[in-house]
Every structure is written in structure tokens, then in C-alpha cells.
Amino acid sequence: MRPLSDLGGAARPRAVYVDLDGTLLGPGGSLFASGDGGVTREAAAAVAALLEGGGELVPLSGRTAMQVRETARLLGGRAYIAELGGLTCYEDGEVVLDAGEYAGGGSPHEAMVRGGVGGLLLEAYPGRLEPHAPWAFLDRACSMLLRGHVDTAEAEGVLERAGFGWLQVTDNGVIRRSFPGLRTDEVHAYHVLPRGISKANAAAADMARRDLDPARCVAVGDSPADAALAGVCGAAFIVANGREDVERTGVDAPNLYATEAPYGDGFAEAIRALLGGVP
């Protein structure tokens, strides 16, 4: 990843695809929580500056559509992407479902429930995986939500041997807290969803659908799933608290940048760089 000082004279963004938890939102899911436990106004000010400059904020999250909808409304977003790219929703009520490689009846989530996918993984990784409660039990269309620490390729092998080769396990970043039911050195959020669904694919489809110039679209996040957006956007930014996790996976690109600050302060740092230092 490159430092923001290498960004140069970037064009003002038409749209900013932003991850929520661990990126725009600080610890506890607050827009005003800083990484050191204090209060910060930086992220809120950056959102306002982006909107005032004619840019658009597009929340892009593993959260459910209902969760992301309310956040998008608060942040002035006219479109939002939920379930790690499985659902793209617009202010006129249109919802675009991406089922990826799932070709059966009903929703992918219903098929996973019928097939016992959650139980299969929990039994394969006792003490290393558990439902990411309470959010795992909200209504979902495309994904299952787990937390813990496993090798995603190995977990996908477990699924494939059980007849679920159409599923992938995607790491959506580190959860910086401990859970009594887990015996792991760190905790990640994992989404089990059909192959072919990703944040990058959803953002690319949204740009094409709304005729947005990819060169004037950027992404900000904290995970390997967010770093992959560098392949479809003019630039992608990883906030400081996600840098180690992304570097460990080897994901990189010439247009992938790292901020010095974590969480919402890092988001604000990226927006200031894109808007020419606007406070």
C-alpha cells in the first residue's frame, strides 16, 4: 500500500463507497468514537464536506439491508450496498439481488439454512467459530455471519467436501474485542455467501447501472474485501486499523493507499486528500 502523500492531484470523487464497522464507524459502531476511546468529529465533518462538494456517500457493508438503510438515510446516501455485495438498494425502492453462483430456489440464505451450513462450520471449528450474535440472527437474503479465526480456504474446503462448493467464506475484517465462547488469538467477521458475490462486484455493477465514471469513484475500508475495490475504482483507501490485516493477505494494487489514522479519522484523512485538504 502507498502513503496518501503519493496520491497526487486526484479528481474530486463522484461517489465514495465506504465500509461501516471499523471504517467510517469507530469502536462500538459510533460515528463519533475515535480509536483511542475518545470523541471525534472528523468523520462527520468529512461526510458533510463530501456532500457539500457534490459527492455521494455509498455505504457498503456486511450488515443487513435494513441496518444499512437506516445508516444511509442518516448519512445522506441515495444508494447502499448490503450483505457484502449481495443486495444493492436505491432510494426509489429498487433492490438488486446478486445470488452469485447460487442457482436453486428461494434465497441463498434459505438454501444454507436448509443444508445446515452454519452447523457444519461450527462443528468443524469448535471454539474457533460462532454466530456473530446478535446480528447473525437478523433477516438475511444472501449470507450467514460468523465470527472467530479460521483459514478461509480451509473452511471453504470443508464446505466443498459437504457439497457446498458454490459457497465462499469471506473475511470482512478484525473485530477488536474478545468473546467468551471463542478460544482464538484474534477475532474476525466472516460472511458465508455464494461465490461471485463481493463488494467489488457490487460497486462495479452500481457504477455501470448509474453510469458513474469508475475513475471518479473511490472506496474506503478496513479489510481485504475492501482492498479488492481498488480493482474497480479509481482509488481505494485502507484505514490504519485495517492495514496489518490487509498486508498479511498480500492484497495490493498501485492505487491502494493507507491512511495514518484509524477508523473514522482515517476516513476523514482520505476525504481531505481527495477534496484538496478541505477541513
pLDDT attached to residue 7? 87
> Which of the listed CATH numbers 3.90.870.30, 3.40.50.1000, 3.40.50.10800, 3.40.50.11540 matches domain 12-98+198-274?
3.40.50.1000
Residue 235 near residue 217 (C-beta atoms within 8 A): no
pLDDT attached to residue 166? 97
Mean pLDDT of 157-186: 93
Mean pLDDT of 259-264: 97
Q: In this predicted model, what pLDDT tens digit does every residue of 34-84 receive, in sequence order?
A: 998 899 999 999 999 999 999 999 999 999 999 999 999 999 999 999 999
| From 45-49, 201-205, 242-246, 248-252, the region with the lowest mean pLDDT | 248-252
Q: Domain spans of the chain? A: 12-98+198-274, 108-194
Mean pLDDT of 84-113: 95
Q: In this predicted model, what pLDDT tens digit does every residue of 177-236 receive, in sequence order?
A: 889 999 999 999 999 999 999 999 999 999 999 999 999 999 999 999 999 999 999 999
pTM of the model: 0.93
pLDDT attached to residue 172? 87
pLDDT attached to residue 84? 95
pLDDT band at 10 (very low <50, low <70, confident <90, very high): low
Residue 221 near residue 245 (C-beta atoms within 8 A): no
Q: Which amino acid is at 42?
A: E
